[in-house]
Structure 1
Amino acid sequence: MNWLTTVVRPKVRSLLRRQAPDTLWIKDPETGELAYQKDVEANLWVFPGSQHHMRITAAQRLSITLDPGSQEDVHVPEVTADPLRFRDTKRYIDRIKQARTLTGEPDAVKVACGTIEGIPVTVAVQDFQFMTGSAGMAAGEAIVSAVEAATSRCTPLILFACGGGMRMQEGILSLMQMSRTTVAVRRLRAAKLPYFVVLTDPTTGGITASYAMLGDVHIAEPGALIGFAGQRVIEQTIREKLPEGFQRAEYLREHGMVDMVVPRAEMRPTLASLCGLLTKRPLAKTG
């Protein structure tokens, strides 16, 4: 038996595998280049080279948006998890359980109150990891709860929209959330409270057709896909080739559907300035 090949070499290989885990490097989807994961995280989950904005979880979004130590989660009433007892290749209730295990959240929308540079705000965040951020009864309930929290505390409401539309497994009950959330937003208007929408990648379907496009100010992250139907469906319907960059944040800004495109590193000060301007509250002094 050759101990160098049968004993030493396997131990060296196992040691190298422990020192270089698969999550040490991640690939930039724009350029294909590898980036050190901790560098990307330190850059707010934005690739330093291409400036591609990764999708992030609701917890990560809240941590980089609210002042440290100010976050207070808002309770969202529970709804029936599987109202239609839906099943395709897998039971819907099993998909829900899997998504809850993956994200640690009860559904796709998380709501919290806190401050941004000292200004009180209410924030609702959609998490793409939870069944592609699709909106059903629970998401509708969360957005209504966010409106109620904002009106009771007299704060602006900031919504980070992200998702593939309304959740088909809940049928008409999910579609009803479009009108329900639209009515809730009108309550913000009646209370004269600002409503800011940050459109992240992707924001599509019924989400775009309802609460995501009802803001007083619409902000988008760079490169975010924003639209109702997919580009291929539109091209097949109108039988024309769509322009380059169609449905991307920059294209929509040029055509008046988005007010501004803001990189993630500048999102927090931008939101703070808008909240301070529309609520006439000074920003907290730093330094």
Structure 2
Amino acid sequence: MNWISNYVRPTINSLFSRREVPENLWTKCPECGTMLFHRELSDNLNVCTNCDHHMAISPRARFTALFDGGIFSEIAVPAPVEDPLKFRDQKKYPDRMRAAQKETGEKEAMLIAEGEIGRTPIVAACQDFSFMAGSMGMYVGNAIIAAAERAVELNRPLILFSAAGGARMQEGILSLMQMPRTTVAVEMLKEAGLPYIVVLTHPTTGGVTASYAMLGDVHIAEPNALICFAGPRVIEQTIREKLPEGFQRAEYLLDHGMLDRVTARGDLRDELITITRLLMGLPPAVMGDLPAPTKPEPPEVAEPVEPETPSEANPDP
């Protein structure tokens, strides 16, 4: 037995011919630990197929699944002043912004768009938690105002998906000023008689919860989403008591009257279509995006023919 040809050579060949496997092909569910193939996870809208844990999803991926045919148009947002306070902690604020933009591929923490869901025209806004924890800064305030103005201009409802860790500390008092600004934007929709629907996703906390995230006509949450102003750990340290199981989670808030519905991500589109058309006074949407059924016309009935008499059938010669 030649160990060089039978062992060493195949080992060397395998080292040089080994293909590199991308690291992002599999995702581990943080709830149950199941390894999920990236295509399977994407097809299921970033929801674990084993335990139904709802993971984070980007605004573009959410809009692609929400709008008819995945088609939507972005709405321009006025750019705010860059780094108005010249803030610096471990990094400069502009450096943090550039790092977040490179990581997410987005300009800021909120994306707004217009399109149709179930042939119902809407305006939608979605926060991106992966962009500096979805923090509410001047750009987010401008985005919500732009979305509300566009909804009023087109006479469309506004659907907002919230996901934030609170106000953006790098903008100081200017970020807190977005709370009354966005409240005025919501009031514009109410004065125009247009529905404002909020979908609270995990997590929605801080000043976002204290302003536009809790001012909707209808509040829907994704399962097990954390929704609060101050987090449970802060509350426990303050009152020095153990909080109830599931405190500040979507199901707990639904039981205590703070939410209207808790809906899984896969059922959310149909739920929003139904609620939006109901609030806009429109007829129910046709499932499957098919033409509306028409009432069939009754079949034509032929008039009876009288049988011929024998004399008429065989006249005498």
TM-score, normalised to structure 2's length? 0.86
Q: Which amino acid aligns with 1:122?
A: V
Aligned to 2:11: 9
Report the CA distance between 1:21 and its aligned residue: 2.5
Kept in 1: contact 2:137–2:174 (CA 8 A) = yes
Q: Which amino acid aligns with 1:268?
A: R
Trace 1:98-247 onto structure 2 (pairs within 5 A): 98-247=99-248
Q: Which amino acid aligns with 2:85?
A: L
**CA–CA separation in structure 2 for the residues paired with 1:284 and 1:244:** 41
Counting aligned pairs with the same residue, the percent is: 51
Aligned to 1:51: 52
Closer, same or farther: CA 2–157 of 1 in aligned 2, 3 Å:
same
**CA–CA separation in structure 1 for the residues paired with 2:99 and 2:242:** 39
Q: Which amino acid aligns with 1:12?
A: S
Structure 1, unpaired ranges of 5+: none
Q: Provide, for residues 106-125 of structure 1, a one-character-per-residue CA deviation record: whole Å limited to 9, x for no partner.
A: 21010000000000000000
**CA–CA separation in structure 1 for the residues paired with 2:190 and 2:35:** 46
SS at match of 2:68: coil
Closer, same or farther: CA 49–80 of 1 in aligned 2, 3 Å:
same
**CA–CA separation in structure 1 for the residues paired with 2:161 and 2:12:** 48
Kept in 1: contact 2:45–2:57 (CA 8 A) = no
Report the CA distance between 1:70 and its aligned residue: 3.6
Q: Which amino acid aligns with 1:199?
A: L
**CA–CA separation in structure 1 for the residues paired with 2:5 and 2:141:** 64
Closer, same or farther: CA 260–68 of 1 in aligned 2, 3 Å:
same
Q: Which amino acid aligns with 1:151?
A: V
Kept in 2: contact 1:74–1:113 (CA 8 A) = yes
> How many residue pairs are counted as aligned between the two chains?
286
Report the CA distance between 1:17 and its aligned residue: 4.6
Moved over 6 A (4+): 3-6
SS at match of 2:224: coil
Q: Which amino acid aligns with 2:185?
A: A
Structure 2, unpaired ranges of 5+: 291-317
Trace 1:66-105 onto structure 2 (pairs within 5 A): 66-68=67-69, 70-105=71-106
Kept in 2: contact 1:79–1:137 (CA 8 A) = yes
Closer, same or farther: CA 8–240 of 1 in aligned 2, 3 Å:
same
Kept in 1: contact 2:63–2:70 (CA 8 A) = no
Closer, same or farther: CA 16–267 of 1 in aligned 2, 3 Å:
farther
**CA–CA separation in structure 2 for the residues paired with 1:54 and 1:11:** 41
Report the CA distance between 1:81 and its aligned residue: 2.0
Report the CA distance between 1:61 and its aligned residue: 1.1
Kept in 1: contact 2:148–2:158 (CA 8 A) = yes
SS at match of 2:125: strand
Closer, same or farther: CA 11–194 of 1 in aligned 2, 3 Å:
farther
Kept in 1: contact 2:160–2:197 (CA 8 A) = yes
Q: Which amino acid aligns with 1:92?
A: Y
**CA–CA separation in structure 1 for the residues paired with 2:31 and 2:118:** 33
Closer, same or farther: CA 270–91 of 1 in aligned 2, 3 Å:
same
Q: Provide, for residues 91-138 of structure 1, a one-character-per-residue CA deviation record: whole Å limited to 9, x for no partner.
A: 010001111112222210100000000000000000011101001000
Closer, same or farther: CA 221–58 of 1 in aligned 2, 3 Å:
same
Closer, same or farther: CA 17–148 of 1 in aligned 2, 3 Å:
same
Larger radius of gyration: 2
**CA–CA separation in structure 2 for the residues paired with 1:13 and 1:255:** 60
